[in-house]
Amino acid sequence: MDSSNLSLNRWLIIFFVATALSPSTNVLGNCFNSIFNFGDSLSDTGNLFNNCNSNKPPKSCFTPYGDTFFRHPTGRFSDGRLIIDFIAQSLGLPLLQPYLGVETQRMSVAEFEKGLNFAVAGATALDASYLREKAFVEVPTNYSLSVQLEWFKKAYSLACPSSSSTRCTKILKKSLFVVGEIGGNDYNYPFFKQHSFEEIKSLVPVVVKSIGSAITELIQLGAQSLIVPGNLPIGCCPKYLKIYSTSIQDSKNGCLDWLNQFSEYHNKHLQEELNRIRSQHPNVQIIYADYHNSAMQFYNHPENFGLANTLEACLVDKNETLKKDGNYGLRSKAKTKTKTKKECDDPSKYVSWDGVHLTEAAYRLIANAILQGPYTHPKFTTSCIMSHNLPTNLLQLQ
């Protein structure tokens, strides 16, 4: 072997040793075997779907919900996939099964290892009783974060009756826990009733503390890797725009700045809480997902993302007229025979699906920004995604 080859081999050895010993910037470097998700309608993959036979079935039980990707309703409040679906696909994992759709009384270790989704549309971070007593708002369901956490503990105890089980300990270590988005409904309910701004703002520290308590409990149970999303920019939501149409809008993007600043206020407090938890659990990976700024990309420059409409809803409710009235795609109440009506020809050109929830196209863009862009703190790379031979850009996922 000549001297040049010896030098090259020596350099390669030094390089690989240095790489192995250096701190990794990829906090999601280990691939995951399962996902456990907690949240509301932004990530509910079918838990509220179990109410389809009730007297008041949710809108997600009917077409055109789910039409774009699944070709039928699945309980998702969108025309297709959600952010949690894109995260699962990017990691080479199956789409998350809803907890209420699983036979929990016979929960096996193998079933538990597939992961579970505890998110329920309409869920709040705070218990419904608290919001009723302190915020004077009526919450239609009580699937709060504490309830979802109890579901997780029940499923875990059934699958793993012995907490010292080596297999169960490994499951938690090799699982990704997604806590949120949650908290949005704690503010939506009073905002939609036009409660005072200061009253709603006072809820933020309590909501954030509730999220922090759930994260801490999950860590105590064995969670090692968590993603915690912040709230979306509600000032760009068509329903908010309709309710607060007399407010001054941002002339650049048409959104209501004061409402977006409220979302940022929540997100600031949430990040401070995550920093506090990190200091107490330095060996746990806690990643903040910046949904707000990842979404503001396409609200500010929709043309860069192939979007044509950012502030109107694609879908019209059953109690809405067909005549446009300038209220951001939302109509005045009138009796019709159908549950919903899709007014836009191409949902992929729209951000808002039904005035509150987003289209698959918008969720895909946020997921892409989170998994491959600069919108996570700390930032992570795509080595786990690439190891599954999946597209490194979620825009390629069909």
Catalytic (active site) residue 354: yes
Q: Which residues pair with 397 in a beta bridge?
A: none
On the CB side of 57, CA atoms within 13 Å amount to 17
How far apart, in whole angstroms, are the C-alpha atoms of residue 350 and residue 333? 23
C-alpha–C-alpha distance, residues 23 and 16, integer Å: 13
Token pair for 239: 């329903």
CA dihedral 296, 306, 183, 257 (to 10 degrees): 30
- Cα distance between residue 389 and residue 86, in whole Å: 15
- For 210-252, strand residue ranges (E) read 225-229
What is the token pair recorded at 285?
A: 């990976």
Distances (CA, A) of 295 to 370, 372, 383: 10, 14, 24
Q: Which helix (H) or strand (E) holds 66?
A: none
- Catalytic residue check, 352: no
- According to DSSP, the β-strands at 315-317 and 309-313 are unpaired
- Please name the helix (run of DSSP H) or strand (run of DSSP E) that holds residue 4, with its range, or none: helix 3-21
Q: Report residue 371 CA to chain centroid gap.
A: 13
Distances (CA, A) of 165 to 6, 30, 69, 173: 49, 21, 39, 13
The catalytically annotated residue of 44, 79, 186, 354 is 354
What six digits make up the tokens of 392? 């490194």
Question: At residue 140, what are phi and psi to the nearest 5 degrees?
Answer: -65, -25
| 388 noted as active-site residue | no
Catalytic residue among 34, 40, 41, 44: 41
Which residues are marked as active site? 41, 354, 357
